[in-house]
Structure 1
Amino acid sequence: MPHILIVEDETIIRSALRRLLERNQYQVSEAGSVQEAQERYSIPGFDLVVSDLRLPGAPGTELIKLAQGAPVLIMTSYASLRSAVDSMKMGAVDYIAKPFDHDEMLQAVARILKDRQSLKNTPSGERPSTARGEKAPASDGEIGIIGSCGAMQDLFGKIRKVAPTDSNVLIQGESGTGKELVARALHNLSRRAKAPLISVNCAAIPETLIESELFGHEKGAFTGASAGRAGLVEAADGGTLFLDEIGELPLEAQARLLRVLQEGEIRRVGSVQSQKVDVRLIAATHRDLKTLAKTGQFREDLYYRLHVISLRLPPLRERGSDVVEIARAFLERQRTRMGRADLRFAADAEQAIRHYSWPGNVRELENAIERAAILCESPDISAELLGIDIELDTLDDLEQEDLLGDTSLLPSAHEPTEDLSLEDYFQHFVLEHQDHMTETELARKLGISRKCLWERRQRLGIPRRKSNAVADG
């Protein structure tokens, strides 16, 4: 079980983080300062140190030296993000900006620990890291994203072509499809890979603060601005700026961003001086920016600046067998994290994973598997534990099965099939086979979903046999 040290002076944050990590099968120790950590523990003995940047006494970056090679993850607020980037130059393995959600922290921890384990297993000692500014491991290919379907292979080809350029990229896709992974792949395969990748969720920053956060401000620019501060665009100088949910960016901030793209310069809030920046912009959205531009909710000139290269990330429901491959990768992560090598999907779980529409996409799939792995008391993870009821779900994309593939279920030669309409044939088929087939089997042989079968029964007045209902319920 990996042993993690948390160094954080805020008791509430430290306790919450400890509970989160312990719930996910990590051994956790804690300290309120660098000095306390030194006095109580042998810091190099930990698998990972998670430290706040600003601590009483010595800053969190002091732990980088004290860890003697053990990875250090720096936590920082947006206000001190420039310092976080500097801390990476000092040797921190990565940073995470506050406020962060639980999934974001767990993903960062899992990634760092996986890299550390890979490093131990690599005889040459070459670092297979995926931290910001470093290349993705070869185990998942140079892209670092799972996907075998045609749409994803096409996307990977475009990423390889686009990454070496400095062209702006707009990534479009539903929430939870993995747009940030695409942005990370573009950065890792670019000439800017050794410089920072600064990720910003435009929807997570209050509208009143977003200009200051992105472009910085001068002392006295507004109430509470007691000192000048660099913004996130400056922090990304020489590297890549990833703006997630750019459709939520206010119009005034859009005008400032347009200046960055057109002139390659920024002006801090409250300043009359401009300064040059060298930033590659990658933006992402789940909204239709073209429509927003037409209705005046998004600047049309900015839209066309962003739309130099457009990449579409398909939803999980359009990725065929990828969903099972991704699910198995997530399950393997849970096996490792929880020390339960016996965990596996039951047959009904794999079927549910394959046929469910996953409206929350990859993020929903990952959360469902994590929840199921935690709650599972036996080696087999069932569809019920995943929270999927494929029998009652209103899905229309159940696996199609051609009736012609099973001639035993076709009407016999003496039956007047040519005189039957489609509705007549449906009724004839259901009445003939419902005594020995479940509703699921009937639906599959007809090539429709259970919901559709139920609706047609209602419309045609075909009751379910009681024996069938009991057996299938």
Structure 2
Amino acid sequence: MPHILIVEDETIIRSALRRLLERNQYEVSEAGSVQEAQERFSIPGFDLIVSDLRLPGAPGTELIKLAQGTPVLIMTSYASLRSAVDSMKMGAVDYIAKPFDHDEMLQAVARILRERQESLNAPATERAAPAATRGNGRTADAGQGEIGIIGSCAAMQELYGKIRKVAPTDSTVLVQGESGTGKELVARALHNLSRRAKAPLISVNCAAIPETLIESELFGHEKGAFTGASAGRAGLVEAADGGTLFLDEIGELPLEAQARLLRVLQEGEIRRVGSVQSQKVDVRLIAATHRDLKSLAKIGQFREDLFYRLNVISLKLPPLRERGGDVIEIARLFLTRQAAQMGRSDLRFGHDAEQAIRHYGWPGNVRELENAIERAVILCEGSEISADLLGIDIELDDLEDDDLPGGSSAHSSSNAHEPTEDLSLEDYFQHFVLEHQDHMTETELARKLGISRKCLWERRQRLGIPRRKTGNAVDN
């Protein structure tokens, strides 16, 4: 049984990750800092180390030297992506952004352990080969593996076929679909099945970065390029050099930044803000949007030339309401996860809950389904989850017991229940932030909620609550 060391100072995250790994047949030890790990364990004796980048005292990258060849997987928040890429240059085997999807973490752990075992079993000459050479063989194997997305309906099977065809190429891909359908999972599958799988996948939510900072974040800047630029800084496009850049919600990208992005696609080069020199980059671009870019281009809100550059390969993700029986399969997986986190292995869906899940329209798609099940698990007092606990507005009396082939009903409503006084923790968080973010800074919001600003940002990302782009209440 592989033995994994978790080094993470946030107790909740450390405990949840430990339970996740132990449920999947891994032996797990844990520590809250590099110093504690040194004092308690022989670090090179583990099969894998999973560590947060930012820790009390020494950073997680210190474990790379201490591990003496044992692979180190770095966890980091979105705001520290550049530092995570730097850690890979220092020898980390990979990084994963928090908050991470459970499947994403398990896939990363399984892949790293498999590669380590293959490396240990390989002849000495092959172990000495450059990583890029070994990567070619691994990518060929990965192409036969699972896509990593749940669902078996006809539309998803067609999508999987396209992913397998497109992934080995360097073609730009535009992933289209409603919010919450899993567009980033498609981007990750395209990257993992490509020849770039060993290089970074940098994911950027264009809607989450203030408009005034987007160009600097993406393309970097030189010292003195603007007020506060006390040193030169590489951008996320540079960080993705050799790998894949995933731009989520690309329809929110300002026109000026679109022009710079077009240069990357046309010339394969970037110019930092404030610089007169260009530099070459080798980046594959995957973009995603829930908006109609062609219509935006017609009214001048999106560059038409960029649209045609992006739209080389277009992949369409179907909404959850069109995926038939997939919805209950996904719901059961979410229930298993949430119940395990809460120590409630006895939980199951009642018949009325399954009917509601199958027939509700799910306008928020997979994200809404996950939140509804988390809410139900928190509020459930017995062993059976009823339809009422899901908090969705649907009349069950008129529904037939038989499954509807389309997964929706004429009686379904796209509106959720109005908030009641019986709120889950996530409901409370969402309502509090929406109510107060216009007149409170991020620091004040975090203090009132009793969490760190980092945790506030991660929950915003998870629940799809963007920060205000302008306004006096937003602090940096």
TM-score w.r.t. the length of structure 1 is 0.69
CA distance in 2, matches of 1:313, 1:163: 16
Matched, 1:352 2:353: no
Offset from partner CA, 1:300-353 (integer Å, 9 cap, x none): 110110011111101000111111111122223334444544322111111111
Residue type of the alignment partner of 2:53: D
- Aligned equivalent of 1:414: none
- Aligned equivalent of 1:236: 240
Superposition deviation, residue 141 in structure 1: 5.0
- Aligned equivalent of 1:449: 411
CA distance in 2, matches of 1:185, 1:114: 11
Matched, 1:59 2:41: no
Residue type of the alignment partner of 1:35: Q
Offset from partner CA, 1:422-464 (integer Å, 9 cap, x none): xxxxxxxxxxxxxxxxxxxxxx9xx96399xxxxxxxxxxxxx
Contact in 2 for aligned 1:170/1:310 (Cα 8 Å): yes
- Evaluate the alpha carbon distance shift between residue 223 and residue 259 of structure 1 in structure 2; reply closer, same or farther with a 3 A threshold: same
1:175 to 175, 179, 196: 179
- Evaluate the alpha carbon distance shift between residue 51 and residue 244 of structure 1 in structure 2; reply closer, same or farther with a 3 A threshold: same
Offset from partner CA, 1:188-242 (integer Å, 9 cap, x none): 1111111111110001111111101101111111111111111111111111100
2:11 to 5, 8, 18: 18
CA distance in 1, matches of 2:229, 2:283: 26
1:225 to 229, 233, 258: 229
- Evaluate the alpha carbon distance shift between residue 298 and residue 381 of structure 1 in structure 2; reply closer, same or farther with a 3 A threshold: same
Matched, 1:82 2:82: yes
Superposition deviation, residue 35 in structure 1: 3.2
- Aligned equivalent of 1:369: 373
- SS of the counterpart of 1:143? coil
Q: What stretches of structure 2 of length at least 5 have no aligned partner? A: 20-27, 120-134, 414-476
Superposition deviation, residue 162 in structure 1: 1.1
- Aligned equivalent of 2:122: none
Superposition deviation, residue 368 in structure 1: 1.8
Contact in 2 for aligned 1:136/1:143 (Cα 8 Å): no
Offset from partner CA, 1:248-268 (integer Å, 9 cap, x none): 101100000000000000001
Structure 1 range deviating more: 162-171 or 38-47 = 38-47
- Evaluate the alpha carbon distance shift between residue 118 and residue 379 of structure 1 in structure 2; reply closer, same or farther with a 3 A threshold: farther
Matched, 1:266 2:270: yes
Residue type of the alignment partner of 1:160: R
CA distance in 2, matches of 1:206, 1:141: 38
- Aligned equivalent of 2:310: 306
CA distance in 2, matches of 1:22, 1:34: 17
Superposition deviation, residue 384 in structure 1: 1.8
- Aligned equivalent of 2:329: 325
- Aligned equivalent of 2:299: 295
- Aligned equivalent of 1:458: none
- SS of the counterpart of 1:171? strand
Matched, 1:112 2:105: yes
Write out aligned runs for 1:24-423 (5 A): 31=32, 34-35=34-35, 37-39=37-39, 49-53=50-54, 56=57, 58-66=58-66, 69=70, 72-75=73-76, 78=79, 81-90=81-90, 92=92, 94-96=94-96, 104-105=99-100, 107=101, 111-112=104-105, 116=109, 125=117, 141-391=145-395
Residue type of the alignment partner of 2:377: A
Offset from partner CA, 1:111-158 (integer Å, 9 cap, x none): 4357657988x899469xxxxx98799899531111211111111111
Residue type of the alignment partner of 2:237: V
Residue type of the alignment partner of 2:63: L
Superposition deviation, residue 292 in structure 1: 0.7
Residue type of the alignment partner of 2:52: S
Aligned pair count reads 381
- Evaluate the alpha carbon distance shift between residue 22 and residue 390 of structure 1 in structure 2; reply closer, same or farther with a 3 A threshold: farther
How many percent of aligned residue pairs carry the same amino acid? Answer: 72
Contact in 1 for aligned 2:293/2:307 (Cα 8 Å): yes
Superposition deviation, residue 40 in structure 1: 6.4
Offset from partner CA, 1:251-295 (integer Å, 9 cap, x none): 100000000000000001111110111111000001111111111
- SS of the counterpart of 1:291? helix
Superposition deviation, residue 374 in structure 1: 3.3
- Evaluate the alpha carbon distance shift between residue 382 and residue 42 of structure 1 in structure 2; reply closer, same or farther with a 3 A threshold: farther
Superposition deviation, residue 62 in structure 1: 1.1
- SS of the counterpart of 2:241? coil
- Aligned equivalent of 1:424: none
CA distance in 1, matches of 2:144, 2:377: 23
Contact in 2 for aligned 1:218/1:270 (Cα 8 Å): yes
Contact in 2 for aligned 1:138/1:144 (Cα 8 Å): no
CA distance in 1, matches of 2:328, 2:316: 21
Contact in 1 for aligned 2:262/2:306 (Cα 8 Å): yes
- Evaluate the alpha carbon distance shift between residue 168 and residue 115 of structure 1 in structure 2; reply closer, same or farther with a 3 A threshold: closer
- Evaluate the alpha carbon distance shift between residue 138 and residue 196 of structure 1 in structure 2; reply closer, same or farther with a 3 A threshold: closer
Residue type of the alignment partner of 1:274: S
Contact in 2 for aligned 1:146/1:326 (Cα 8 Å): yes
Contact in 1 for aligned 2:339/2:345 (Cα 8 Å): yes
- Structure number, greater radius of gyration: 1
Contact in 2 for aligned 1:264/1:277 (Cα 8 Å): yes
- Aligned equivalent of 1:428: none
- SS of the counterpart of 2:394? coil
CA distance in 2, matches of 1:38, 1:124: 22
- Evaluate the alpha carbon distance shift between residue 375 and residue 71 of structure 1 in structure 2; reply closer, same or farther with a 3 A threshold: farther
TM-score w.r.t. the length of structure 2 is 0.69
- Evaluate the alpha carbon distance shift between residue 124 and residue 18 of structure 1 in structure 2; reply closer, same or farther with a 3 A threshold: closer
